[in-house]
Chain A
Amino acid sequence: MADIKKLAIIASKGTLDWAYPPFILASAAAAMDMEAVLFFTFYGLPLLKKEIDLKVTPVGNPAMPMKMPFGSKEFQGFNWPIPNIISGNVPGFDTMATMLMKETFKKKGVATIEQLREMCQESGVRFIACQMTMDVFGFERKDFIDGVEYGGAAMFLEYAADANMSLFI
């Protein structure tokens, strides 16, 4: 095919929930014979760490359902109304919410972030880490997986200028 479509994504969020869209879209694009570049900046940088430890919090996230990954279908479908005063103050609440989301994803046959990231790299998706935000937040190249390129706004824009789809996530 002469006309290869290009996808450019800025990944700026590092919570478990928002880690998914960039890797899902980039891996799917590669599977559809498209080129894809993921530019990791600000809170998206931890997605490049060798050891990923992502969390999710219902605090300040009123649309996030609190679901149980076990029990009957009705029980799993129930959305627990946890007020922020509890979710924001009970120690370990985020850890629990993270565990529940991971377990629910697993039960539903959703790949882990590590798997999707690996599949992206296998299929030629390019990862670019924003050097400026790395310096600001104290990330080091040795903490990141192999195969990452390092650059800045110009490097992303050079690619995005010819991209058919550009997304900020």
Chain B
Amino acid sequence: MSEITANRTLDCSGMNCPLPILKTKKEVDQMQSGEILKMISTDSGSANDMASWANRTGHKIVDSSTEGGTYTFYIQKS
């Protein structure tokens, strides 16, 4: 699989609900359509929360992974 290149990175490590969602929204608002944000979270609720957030806002999670309690999301702005 080819590496996804992110235009921006947002580290939400240590933050708990709803901060990762709020910070992600803020960041995405500053991006151009089609750009990709890499978001890192340690909130174990964020896997499902990010999916729900993307469903409602229309932005796309193009890739996500979990490693040792760290969740990484690649979000493409719609």
Chain A residues with CB under 8 Å of chain B are 1, 5, 24, 27-28, 30-34, 108-111, 116, 119, 123
Q: From known contacts A1-B58, A109-B43, infer whether A31 and B16 are also in contact, taking CB-CB under 8 Å.
A: no
Measured between beta carbons, the chain A residues less than 8 angstroms from B10 are none
B14 touches A28 (CB 8 A): no
Measured between beta carbons, the chain B residues less than 8 angstroms from A31 are 18, 21-22, 24-25, 53
Q: Is B62 an interface residue (CB 8 A)?
A: no
Measured between beta carbons, the chain A residues less than 8 angstroms from B42 are 109
Residue of A nearest to B21 (CB): A31
A interface, over-half SS: loop
B16 touches A32 (CB 8 A): no
B18 touches A33 (CB 8 A): no
> Which of A24, A27, A28, A110 is the most central at the interface, judged by chain B CB atoms within 10 Å of its CB?
A28
Chain B residues with CB under 8 Å of chain A are 14-19, 21-22, 24-25, 42-43, 52-53, 56-58
B56 touches A111 (CB 8 A): no
Measured between beta carbons, the chain B residues less than 8 angstroms from A110 are 16-17, 19
Q: From known contacts A28-B22, A109-B19, infer whether A33 and B56 are also in contact, taking CB-CB under 8 Å.
A: yes
**Sample (17) of A-B pairs whose CB atoms are under 8 Å apart:** A1-B58, A27-B18, A28-B21, A31-B21, A31-B22, A31-B25, A31-B53, A32-B52, A32-B53, A32-B57, A34-B56, A109-B14, A109-B15, A109-B19, A110-B17, A110-B19, A123-B22
In the complex, besides A32-B52, A32-B56, A111-B16, 14 extra interface pairs with C-beta distance below 8 angstroms are A24-B18, A30-B25, A31-B21, A31-B25, A31-B53, A32-B21, A32-B25, A32-B53, A33-B57, A109-B16, A109-B19, A110-B17, A111-B15, A123-B25
